[in-house]
């Protein structure tokens, strides 16, 4: 069964840092591009970042560029999001999602999400 | 950046009704469009990709159409489990962008 499990969320003060992880299983992780998408409480979905299978291509939303870093470890079947200089507006549930396939850039499946709360 | 505009933002409907949701892109995206369903407290689920292709396991009452800038998600006969929020998303270019969502509520 294909599964994505996020971890690392929690409460952090403005200006602080947090590292999210996404553990993948049930598929050949190294063959797929991966993504982070977030959802602020009561709001819609916002794409955050994407990374290609070999980490050759990385993209960020303007809202997080320069503060967040996406990475992956194909040997550990894991995706990461290092979040620095956190702001109140970064408060959200963060989902990791796999691309459906090669040149198949649809988000499927998704993890269950991990909540990040930025507050003093 | 490509802006995605969904309408309506909410719709009240009854079981058995036909429901149509529209999504407009600020520039042409060919068929690089997906639809997702999200229920409260759950992760989104892919319903339709490439504008009109049904994801495996999704009931055939869901269908998608359109290309270029105008797209439609149709639920042919609304079922109790379909009450949820629906999002469109473009995959033509980065940054990926989502529509604002359409909440389908019980009438």
Residuewise pLDDT in 10s, chain B (107 residues)? 999 999 999 999 999 999 999 999 999 999 999 999 999 999 999 999 999 999 999 999 999 999 999 999 999 999 999 999 999 999 999 999 999 999 999 88
What's the pLDDT at B64?
Answer: 98
Contacts of A62 in chain B (CB under 8 A): 95
Q: How far is residue B89's CA from residue B69's CA, in Å, rounded to a whole number?
A: 12
With an 8 Å Cβ cutoff, are B91 and A100 in contact?
Answer: no
Please state whether the peptide bond connecting residue B15 to the residue before it is cis, i.e. omega within 30 degrees of 0. no
Provide φ and ψ at A5, rounded to 5°. Answer: -130, 115
The residue with tokens 């090669």 is A102
Chain A residue whose CA is closest to B53: A106
Peptide bond before B21: cis, by omega within 30 degrees of 0? no
- Per-residue pLDDT of A54-76, as tens digits, reads 999 999 999 999 999 999 999 99
Topology given in CATH for the domain delimited by B4-100: Immunoglobulin-like (2.60.40)
Does residue A102 surpass a pLDDT of 90?
A: no
CB contact under 8 A, A47 and B101: no
Q: Which residue, among B2, B96, B93, B25, has the nearest Cα to A61 in the 3D structure?
A: B96
One DSSP character per residue, A55-109 reads: S--EEE-TTTTTTEEEEEETTTTEEEEEE-S--GGG-EEEEEEEEEETTEEEEEE
| Chain B residues in contact with chain A using a Cβ-Cβ cutoff of 8 Å | 32, 34, 36, 38, 43-46, 49-50, 55, 87, 89, 91, 94-101
Query: Which of A105, A112, A113, A114 best tests the B interface by mutation, with the highest count of B CBs <10 A?
Result: A105
List chain B domain ranges: 4-100
Reported confidence tier of residue A103, pLDDT bands at 50, 70, 90:
confident
- Measured in angstroms, the CA of B87 and the nearest CA of chain A are apart by 8
């Amino acid at each position: 069964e294909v599964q994505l499990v996020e971890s690392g969320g929690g409460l952090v003060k403005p200006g602080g840092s947090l590292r999210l992880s996404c553990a993948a299983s049930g598929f050949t992780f190294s063959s797929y591009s991966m993504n982070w998408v977030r959802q602020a409480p009561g709001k819609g979905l916002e794409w955050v970042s994407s990374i290609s299978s070999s980490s050759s291509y990385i993209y960020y939303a303007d809202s997080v560029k320069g503060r967040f870093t996406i990475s992956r470890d194909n040997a550990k079947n894991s995706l990461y999001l290092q979040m620095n200089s956190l702001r109140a507006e970064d408060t959200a549930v963060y989902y990791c999602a796999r691309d459906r396939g090669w040149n198949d850039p649809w988000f499927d499946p998704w993890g269950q999400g991990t909540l990040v709360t930025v507050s003093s | 950046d490509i802006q995605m505009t969904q309408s309506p933002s909410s719709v009240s409907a009854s079981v058995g009704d036909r429901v149509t949701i529209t999504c407009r892109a600020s520039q042409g995206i060919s068929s690089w469009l997906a639809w997702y369903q999200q229920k409260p407290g759950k992760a989104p689920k892919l319903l339709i990709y490439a504008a009109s292709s049904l994801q495996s396991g999704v009931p055939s009452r869901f269908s998608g159409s359109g290309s270029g800038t105008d797209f439609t998600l149709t639920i042919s006969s609304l079922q109790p489990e379909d009450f949820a929020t629906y999002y469109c998303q473009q995959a033509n270019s980065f940054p990926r962008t989502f529509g604002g969502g359409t909440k389908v509520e019980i009438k």
